[in-house]
Amino acid sequence: MLNEYSIGDSRELLKQVDSNSVDLIYIDPPYCTGRDFYHFDDRFKSSADYRELLMRPLLTECHRILSDVGNVVVHVEPKVSHHIRIVMDDVFGENRFKNEIVWISGGNHKSKKQLQRNHDTIIVYQKGKESIYNPEHKEYDAETIRKAKYCPYHKKKYNTSALVNRQPNVVSRPNLRYEWNGHDLQWHISKERMQKLHDDNRLEYSSNTGIPRVKKFLDEMDGIPIKDVWNDIKQIQGVEKLDYATQKPVALLNRIVNMFSNEGSTVLDPCAGSGTLGRSAMLTGRNYILFDLNEDGKALFNKTIDGLVPVQEVLHNPLEYIMFGL
């Protein structure tokens, strides 16, 4: 099964995968749409049936095959996300919830009765107490660099971060309460650390209050941290677009794969569709396992990987791909 696209019911195929053998499972499941969809009958009598007949068996097997440091990422629309969370809390445990990511995917559907949907929900759970996580950053854009302050002492640009704990009654740290520059407050760092920053001219004191903030020099940081709202990855465009309705951008899967697995990991998609996770795995140095009911999805995947060429983008550097002959 390794580095293959297998056809069949994922709930059965997953039983053939070894326990604790997969570091990342990405699932873009049916959304309980009430219609036939790519060889799968997505018509359930109730939301409870959707949860119990499809998602619970699927996620139970996913829990078994996931490594102790593994993550499962479920990509859904807001209409069914709460049903997924109910099952995942049961199967993985409420304390294994990791993130809920909002991907600004865009949308053209307009309604006079409700707000237009403009995002997908990506839910992340981990199997064990610790799990793989590789932070990603975006490069500083021109506006961020322009707005940054200049430190004549260090001769470089910086932003600042607060050092005062504004909720000392909520997060009480008596050992971090001390007087500094005339202010007896609870701080985020020790007095020894504060003194070291002061001596190195890494504090910026407010001209009004005298309260310091720490200088964060741009060249000492990795960039702008990726947080849980992703608005920088666009929907499928141009040569990447295939004749497959549920296709997701390879840039989106690259980010998920890079964040929640390591190079050499095995990643799995039990609802593989056009195989974007497989393409991402090939680009990022992972092994993949793909399952789906749809032979057309497998044929499309096989067709695209024949012309897959990794390309380093000059600016933002998510690995992208070019497909030839489509």
pLDDT, one tens digit per residue, over 9-31 is 999 999 999 999 999 999 998 86
Section 199-224 average pLDDT: 96
Q: Among residues 264, 236, 265, which one has the least CA distance to residue 248?
A: 236
pLDDT, one tens digit per residue, over 66-90 is 999 999 999 998 888 999 999 999 9
Task: Give Cα 221 distance to the centre of its chain.
Answer: 21
- pLDDT over threshold 50, residue 214: yes
pLDDT-derived band at 32 (thresholds 50, 70, 90) equals low
pLDDT, one tens digit per residue, over 156-178 is 999 999 999 998 888 889 999 99
- pLDDT over threshold 80, residue 245: no
Among residues of the chain, what percentage have pLDDT more than 90? 69
Give the C-alpha separation, 306 to 301, whole Å. Answer: 9
Domain residue spans in the chain?
4-136+226-322, 138-220
pLDDT, one tens digit per residue, over 45-61 is 788 888 888 899 999 99
Distances (CA, A) of 263 to 59, 73, 83, 283: 24, 17, 32, 10
pLDDT-derived band at 204 (thresholds 50, 70, 90) equals very high
Give the C-alpha separation, 141 to 59, whole Å. Answer: 40
Size of the chain, expressed as the number of residues it contains? 326
pLDDT, one tens digit per residue, over 281-295 is 999 999 999 999 889
Which residue's entry shows tokens 């309460």? 177
- Helix, strand, coil tally for the chain in percent (to 5): 30, 30, 40
Angle at 44 between CA 40 and CA 50, to 5 degrees: 90
pLDDT, one tens digit per residue, over 99-108 is 999 999 876 6
**DSSP per residue over 223-240, as a string?**
SEEP-SEE-S-PPP-GGG
Torsion of CA 300, 303, 308, 313, to 10 degrees: -40
Section 137-152 average pLDDT: 94
Give the C-alpha separation, 138 to 120, whole Å. Answer: 21
Fold of 4-136+226-322: Rossmann fold (3.40.50)
